[in-house]
Amino acid sequence: MQVSNPNNVKIYNLSAGKSLPQWLSDRRKRSLQKQDVDLQRRIELLQDFEMPTVSHCVRVTKDGQYICAAGTYKPKVRCYDVSQMSLKFERGLDSDVVKFQFLSDDYSKIVFLQNDRYIELHSQNGRYYRLRIPKYGRDIAYHTASCDLYVAGVSSEIYRLNLEQGRFLNPLSTNSSEVKCCELNPVHHLLACGTNTNTFRVLEYSHRKHPGDPEFKIPYPLPGVNPTNYPE
């Protein structure tokens, strides 16, 4: 990338600089990138990385090879292949997506929480199953070891859907009328929740209760919770 500064105005030229031939193998490309500093600093643009109107959420697969984005209008999800720097597929949906999670390391298994109280399970071939939850959902979290899908929403309870057994389990109870967001810690598997009363709650998966003193008062509304950065 070249940067010019005429009249104290920076102009970035994204198309300038060296480029690699498309016919080179991935191994050869990686070898050249390690040897050439200019190739390491070059910028590659992901083709068609956009939504017609707005995008609600974007996630990257665990293997780092794919990026999925959900947006509107019309409701749809797009999957991008990072290695090819292009759109892999696009699917139309019945309703807008509130949140979604990858159930596998790649894009082959995805769960969507939609704004019409439906949960959709998708495979790499398309929609696999669709079911409805009792209350409107706000966030979802997936526990890989137990195959439990946690659904937080406009309720004091956090619904638990076991994808292996195909049924709802006993929900987790909170003292708040609404749970805004939730996230599972990958280390000790505690479920952290942000509520509408500006409180932060930690739920223990195995006992379905609060471990110790679980509630912390937050002086501002919680836009999201990411407990992976908290100490054990």
Residue 181 neighbours by CB distance under 10 Å: 19
Q: What is the mean pLDDT of residues 97-101?
A: 91
Q: Tell me, what's the pLDDT at 218?
A: 44
Bigger pLDDT: 17 or 220?
Answer: 17
Q: How far apart are CA 13 and CA 232, in angstroms?
A: 46
Q: What is the mean pLDDT of residues 139-164?
A: 88
Place of tokens 């942000």: 194
Place of tokens 């979290």: 141
Q: What is the mean pLDDT of residues 132-159?
A: 88
Letter string b/e over residues 88-113, b meaning 16 or more CB atoms within 10 A of that residue's CB:
eeebebeebbbbbbbbeeebebbbbb
Q: What is the mean pLDDT of residues 85-92?
A: 86
CATH code that applies to domain 46-132: 2.40.10.480
Bigger pLDDT: 120 or 45?
Answer: 120
> Please, what is the average pLDDT of the chain?
78
